[in-house]
A and B are shown apart, each in its own frame.
Chain A
Amino acid sequence: MSKILEVNNLEIDFHTYAGEVHAIRNVSFDLEKGETLAIVGESGSGKSVTLRTIMGLLAKNGEVVNGEVLFNGEDILKKSNKELNDMRGNDISMIFQDPMTSLDPTMPIGKQVAEVLRIHNSVSKKSAMEEAARVLELVGIKDARNRLKDYPHQFSGGQRQRIVIAIAIINNPQILIADEPTTALDVTIQAQIIDLLKELQTKIDTSIIFITHDLGVVAGIADRVAVMYAGKIVEFGTVDEIFYNAQHPYTWGLLESMPTLETNTKRLHAIPGTPPSLLDPPVGDAFAPRNAYAMQIDTEQEPPFFQVSPTHKAATWLLHPDAPKVELPPEIARRREIWKKMNPETKKPQTTEKGAD
């Protein structure tokens, strides 16, 4: 597999009236060809900002302070507007969160789908429309040929999201960015959309970056998972590593707050407290104030990434060789048991410190 996208040491500040908001604080990750990477984290953790930067759609008051975003080896951040326009909707395209508001209400849907084809390819209006109908059928709009002249309000939420997906895939992009594409849909439709994305991924051979705060969705679609907190990635690993061998207390908190069939607690766990203000990010581990396992060093020094396996790393002092043994929350302990069964030969995680840049 080859890396199609590499984000290295990305730092983004937003200029606001209140001051500089350090929204993204040294984020690095990569995307393999054909894989699905999920980025999870609560609102304000920097998921969307990261993806908008990849699209070259950072808000005007945002500034990339440091870092690079390499797409096929070329730095997106150094591209001109013209080059970005050529890339958007063609090489990298995006699916938005709310299908009810992401289509132009005054333009027939056929035109909205055909438009993105015509921007990047010299095709006639007629053949663009035919192609639009074909792709709309592909994403599950029935009788699409006769519905090209219909307006968005004549479709349901799930159908509209299918139309948005048609717009995103019509040019066979190399990367598909999905910004919480199922959040605004009801659960049965969510499952359909997830299935559709998986099916399309194999059909058009694309890589997907999937933002969500729904770990259930992650389990169904992702190959690898990045957990973000307060503008940083705190844990990164394969979907099994994150679900069954999580190391960061924040990931534990997320897993504990997800309902499963196995747990029969009366109340769902909630992570206490609120995320820190990124106007003035805390010293040390940003999660420390909400962390029952926080140690003295968490408030003093930022934890570096500790490599748990070649594919798994987490930024928590608990992985330091000198850290005391902690008793895991019951839900996490249960998951560790499953992990041991899945990997009987696994020894105690070999933790090696990796420079924190």
Chain B
Amino acid sequence: MAKYIVKRVFYLLLTLFIIASATFFLMKLMPGTPFNNPKIPAEQLAALRKANGLDKPVIVQYGKYLLGVLHGDFGTSYQFAGQSVSHLIASRVAPSLQIGAQAMVVGTLLGILLGAIAAIRANSWVDSVATIFAILGRSIPNFVFAALMQYWLAYKWHIFPIALWDGFSSSILPTLALAMAPLAQTARFMRTEMVDVLNSDYIELARSKGESEWQVVAKHALRNSMIPIVTIIGPMAVDLMVGSLVVENIFAIPGIGEQFVRSILTNDYPTIMGLTMMYSVMLVVVLLIVDILYGFIDPRIRLAGGSK
């Protein structure tokens, strides 16, 4: 197991290096410069470029950039003069991470629950209701839920704050809006898998042992049904990162998503690269955790991975 993880971490670092390099060169190919205000005089422009190291050959800039990344230094934002990118991200990442993580936990847990109930009561009205709910959750974009919840739960009934970032209660609505898609997806996967599992031979054997239906589900069916859920957690985490851009805007949350969009619009190279790296790190780490989690749930995978 340890050997397997070490190997995976090595690949993880390699992946990040490739992403860092690709982002850098793609950025260089982008049209325009960070300083494209036509009113800036040529002399001043040259001075600005020099100050930011943009007058040097690309390969030198690349080396400097990589060196910085290794030290956790992504340079200085062009947009907010003098603010380092690391500081910019650090100050804004907390709300995004919080609602992302909350949505992930709420979405997968409720999804597993809903899917399991639908499977246990397969082909009954409970199953139909769960199915309709899951299809709606998957096909309606999260900003629609966000707006509806703002209208009813905040504006009409005053249960939750309507927007802004002020304590845990203000994180509930964005979390719910963001959780809808993973919830629906998890529920569908869980239902399909669990219907199969409940018809499998080892469940029949568990029943023949004299276990109650509840024991059968809790001891044998849940764990076996969760194997494919682990697979979709990775892509779902990516969905949440992207999804949060819109939701953060609707609820006026000072998160990282909003910052990302603005930095692209203004050709703020260091910020774009810093944020891309941050998202990449999050993604590859999630994928690594998912693979390790796999081993814990399914012993067959644990051994296959360890003996490689």
Contact = CB atoms under 8 A, between A and B. Distances in A.
A69 B220 CA distance: 29
B135 interface: no
A243 interface: no
A151 interface: yes
A119 B209 CA distance: 8
B224 A105 contact: yes
A102 B201 contact: yes
B219 interface: yes
Contact of B299 (A84, A87, A102, A105): A105
B208 A120 contact: no
Nearest to A57: B207
Given A96-B205, A98-B201, A104-B202, A85 B212 contact: yes
Given A96-B201, A101-B202, A106 B209 contact: no
Interface string A71-101: 0000000000110111111100110111001
A115 B210 CA distance: 10
A107 interface: yes
A115 B1 CA distance: 28
A81 B215 CA distance: 13
Given A102-B201, A105-B224, A105-B298, A85 B208 contact: no
B209 A88 contact: yes
Contacts of A93: 208-209
B298 A102 contact: no
B202 A153 contact: no
B239 interface: no
B7 interface: no
B200 interface: yes
A85 B207 CA distance: 8
A300 to B, nearest CB: 41
B210 A106 contact: no
Contact of A86 (B200, B210, B219): B210
A164 B205 contact: yes
Contacts of A87: 210
B55 interface: no
A104 B300 contact: no
B268 to A, nearest CB: 48
Contacts of B209: 88-89, 93, 115-116, 119, 167
A84 B210 CA distance: 7
Interface string B293-306: 00001111001000
Interface string B189-223: 00000000000111011111111110100011001
A89 B299 contact: no
Given A119-B211, A153-B300, A102 B205 contact: yes
Contacts of B207: 57, 88
Q: Which of B208, B298, B300, B303 has the most CB of A within 10 A?
A: B208
A242 interface: no
A136 interface: no
A103 interface: yes
B210 A116 contact: yes
Contacts of A84: 210
B201 A167 contact: no
A105 B300 contact: yes
A164 B300 CA distance: 19
B201 A89 contact: no
A81 B211 CA distance: 10
A10 to B, nearest CB: 19
A96 B223 contact: no
Contacts of B300: 105, 151, 153
Contact of A88 (B210, B219, B224, B298): B210
Nearest to B200: A101
Contact of A85 (B204, B210, B219, B223): B210
A88 B210 CA distance: 4
A39 interface: no
29 contacts: A55-B208, A57-B204, A57-B207, A57-B208, A85-B212, A87-B210, A88-B207, A88-B210, A89-B210, A90-B210, A93-B208, A94-B205, A94-B208, A96-B201, A97-B201, A101-B202, A102-B201, A102-B202, A102-B205, A104-B205, A104-B206, A105-B224, A105-B299, A106-B297, A115-B219, A151-B300, A153-B299, A164-B205, A167-B209
Given A88-B210, A153-B303, 8 more contacts: A82-B212, A84-B210, A85-B210, A96-B204, A104-B224, A106-B224, A116-B210, A119-B211
